[in-house]
Amino acid sequence: MIMGVRVPPALWDVIDPGGHTIDPDGIRCSECLTAFVSDGYCAKSRIGYVEGRAYVSRLSYLLAKDGQRLGAVPDCATCRAHLYAPGWCDHCQRGIVGNLIIQNQADFNELFRERERLVSAVRLASHCDLCAVAFFTHSFCSRCHIDYHDTPVNTASIR
């Protein structure tokens, strides 16, 4: 489960929720080196870095960067409601998605969009696991010959 979504094996490795420890001497991209030092994200390589670990999806990078485990059921009624459906609480200034708290609203909004992409990819996986991976990674399904480079979440073709 990632953010309350049951993820099939085909997508798990692509999302890479745990990241990987890497040797910075092996990084050849200058933007990646900057991101590695600053716990940032390289849009060119699509790799994020947090505390010396590389995350190969934007989703896993944002979770590592901003996600904090929810320790107990929140006292706030709005936050409690978000345990079942992700959302932002203006009063507490935090977002809740799955069992995680996100303190930065812009990152929460982006994580929410990534979660929606994940949900669509999981739906696609029931028909074609390669389409699911291609949709999530904005790439091409070699089996079905569908290009998902610029496919928005709400128009993903669920066959």
CB 65 within 8 A of CB 50: yes
pTM: 0.83
Phi then psi dihedrals of residue 63, to 5 deg: -65, -40
According to the model, what pLDDT value does residue 158 have?
42
Report, as an integer, the average pLDDT of 130-146. Answer: 93
Q: In angstroms, rounded to a whole number, what is the distance separating the alpha carbons of residues 159 and 156?
A: 9
With CA atoms as reference, report the closest residue to 139 among 129, 150, 126: 150
Write the pLDDT tens digit of every residue in 13-70. Answer: 889 888 999 999 999 999 999 999 999 999 999 999 999 999 999 999 999 998 888 8
Write the pLDDT tens digit of every residue in 99-120. Answer: 889 999 999 999 999 999 999 9
Please give the residue that has the higher pLDDT: either 159 or 143: 143
Q: In angstroms, rounded to a whole number, what is the distance separating the alpha carbons of residues 147 and 141?
A: 6
**Per-domain residue ranges of the chain:** 68-159
According to the model, what pLDDT value does residue 3 have?
83
Q: In angstroms, rounded to a whole number, what is the distance separating the alpha carbons of residues 78 and 143?
A: 44
